Amino acid sequence: PVSAVDALADLERHLDGETVMTRDDATVDRELAELERAAQKTLDLEELARMRGTEPGARGDAYAAQAYGAKIGAAVAAADAVGERIASGTATGTALPYVPAAGAAASTRAVVSPVTLVVTAFGPVNDVRKAMTPELRGEGHELLLVDLGAGQGRLGGSCLAQVFGQLGDVPPDLDDPKRLANLYDALQDLLVKTKLTAYHDRSDGGLVVTALEMAFASGLGLELDVTAVHVDPFAALFAEELGAIIEVAAADVHQVTAALVNTGARVHAIGRASRGNHVRIAHAGKLVVDTQRTQLRARWSHVTYEIQRLRDDPTCAAEEHATRLDPAAPGLSAHLTFDPNPGPPRDQIPGGPPKKVTSPRVAILREQGVNGQIEMATAFHLAGFEPVDVHMTDLIEGRVDLSDMRGVVACGGFSFGDVLGAGRGWASTFRYNARANAALAAFLARDNTFLLGVCNGCQMLADLADQLPGAAHWPRFVRNRSEQFEAREVMLGIAESPSIFFRGMAGSRIPVATSHGEGRAELAPAQLVAIEQSGLVAARFVDGRGEIATTYPANPNGSPNGIAALTTADGRLTIMMPHPERVFRNVLMSWHPREWTFDRSPWMRMFANARTWVG
């Protein structure tokens, strides 16, 4: 096979204007066969060292690794050069090298396998609110296929070919890079003008899978006709040519089509999303697909489900799969019982007299491994506090004693890597250090202070519950029922409770971020009854209908009765597993209702409540 050095030389000649030698199919097949044999062959370290031109042994292997790293570095540099040529519009093609890799399988053996260089591009996003998702609007909107394949419908290497055990003939290709650049510019312009309501690129599976994924994300049906896409229905539905499906308001179809056709792309009106569960796709006057969306999603999700039930808790896997296949499942939703956008404080109204306000100080507390302090500090700052970065070593060594703080917030993360159990190591720092323990006790003895624990901070404070006034009822938090780390957006229902953080929010249902592996509240039956009777549950996980979530994934950790936040009788102490500080702006949410056009999310009310309580 061609070596990395040879490939780099080819690339260099290409960039300098020389012609890169094209290998015929027989040569490529022979090289692939050699690569396969090399990947299956095991070598002892002496032979591997000889191949690398070094002596065996630790020192020689280290030198080999350095030389090998240099080759990879050269490949990356070559890729950078390609990127520069593409960016300048001077590159008409690229030839990227592959670099073989060797990984030690044992002290005397190594397995050699080829590694492909992956080139990734990044670019700035000026306004994330202009980003498109596959979520469809449906009624009053039309779906357009934007085709950069010039109607060729090439099926080589496609998923359809794989299903039939074939490689296929001609694969899709970027025949004219300029058209791609023009299309990108046109789409950006349409985004700025808010002419697009949904977008999804055509890739694995072709048009039909692209459209279905949009329907799955939206809980809608489809009414499509792909006759104009290609004379062959298989090519129309399954070709993986470059392109996208976009959704456009019916009144904007003509304007959008004209703008996209002007880029050199072909544009076809293919139908629309429909309310309900039905999927109908026609070609040349015949109905080629006539089924239910949930039946197609059952097939689409089947492999995921089978893997999930073997890897995770099988009951959780079954519950999530059942939700996917429920045509009446509402998905995420929201309901507010308060004004989320009341306007600026009186002292900040433009034209009003300046008013000097002393910001109360709040300790943003962290330990080794905690990573949520920046978002937390920002949320409290926006609410009118002066956040102060306090590390546990500041308390232990006496640099900070909390005497001038009105609040202490224990942030989320992974203190001590959770090796002693989530939050337990952090709690032990308080429990077994006299100075830190005394500082916290003196802080809580003042009745004008508050304490908040989020995620890892929640777990830590729960472990200290026996030392916190009014917190004896708090549970320990243990491994999620799913047996997996859960990072997702879920719904949180605010309960009626004394918590100072949730005043005026009871009855609201708000999307929130969760990110934890040990969030299940462990409660004995009698303890659960006592907590429910006390009225000290501050928030619960709820489903899209607003009911208490008892199944996965609406209840991501399996806590009984959906318990997600707890407080004390005086409301000064609150712990919660979800992360409101990660979604204090609407743009930080994975999903929120379209009508939430204001900047700060409803979760800012929680931090503003604390500021109001402090006075």
Instruction: Identify the CA nearest to 413 among candidates 557, 483, 515.
Output: 515
Cis peptide upstream of residue 345 (ω within 30 degrees of 0) = no
Active-site residue, selected from the candidate residues 14, 283, 579, 592: 579
Active-site residue, selected from the candidate residues 200, 319, 320, 455: 455
Residue listed under structure tokens 């032979």: 47
Residue listed under structure tokens 């039909």: 208
| β-bridge mates for residue 205, sequence order | none
Relative to beta strand 450-454, strand 407-410 is parallel
473 in active site: no
Active-site residue, selected from the candidate residues 283, 486, 581, 592: 581
581 in active site: yes
In this structure, the number of other CB atoms found within 10 A of the CB of residue 443 comes to 19
Instruction: Identify the CA nearest to 137 among candidates 254, 251, 263.
Output: 251
The encoded tokens of residue 15 equal: 């960039």
247 in active site: no
> Could you give the CA distance from residue 449 to residue 363 in angstroms, rounded to a whole number?
11
> Could you give the CA distance from residue 336 to residue 405 in angstroms, rounded to a whole number?
32
The encoded tokens of residue 22 equal: 């094209």
Contacts of 452 (CB under 8 A, 6+ apart): 407, 408, 409, 410, 501, 573, 574, 575, 576, 610
> Could you give the CA distance from residue 15 to residue 85 in angstroms, rounded to a whole number?
8
3-state class (DSSP) for residue 425 = helix
> Could you give the CA distance from residue 142 to residue 387 in angstroms, rounded to a whole number?
49
Residues that are catalytic: 455, 579, 581
